[in-house]
Homo-oligomer: A and B are copies of this chain.
Amino acid sequence: MFTIGQRNRLQYIILGLLGQQDQTGYDLTKAFEHEIGEFWQASHSQIYPQLQRLETAGDITHQDQITGEKLTKKVYQLTAQGQKKLAAWVSEPSPELTATKDEFILKLYFIKSANDPRLGPMLREQTQLHAEQLAHLQERQREVFPNQAAIDAAFGHYLILEHAIERESHYVEWLQRYQTLSNNH
Contacts and interface: CB of A to CB of B under 8 A. Distances in A.
Interface in A102-124: 102-114, 116, 118-119, 122
A58 interface: no
A14 to B, nearest CB: 11
Given A9-B101, A101-B40, A103-B96, A178 B159 contact: yes
Nearest to A113: B155
Interface residues of A, number: 65
Contacts of A155: 111-114, 116
A2 B41 contact: yes
Where chain A touches its partner, the secondary structure class is: helix
Given A101-B9, A163-B174, A156 B109 contact: yes
19 contacts: A1-B37, A2-B37, A2-B41, A4-B41, A7-B103, A39-B102, A39-B106, A40-B99, A90-B107, A94-B104, A94-B107, A94-B122, A95-B129, A108-B160, A111-B155, A112-B154, A114-B152, A114-B155, A166-B170
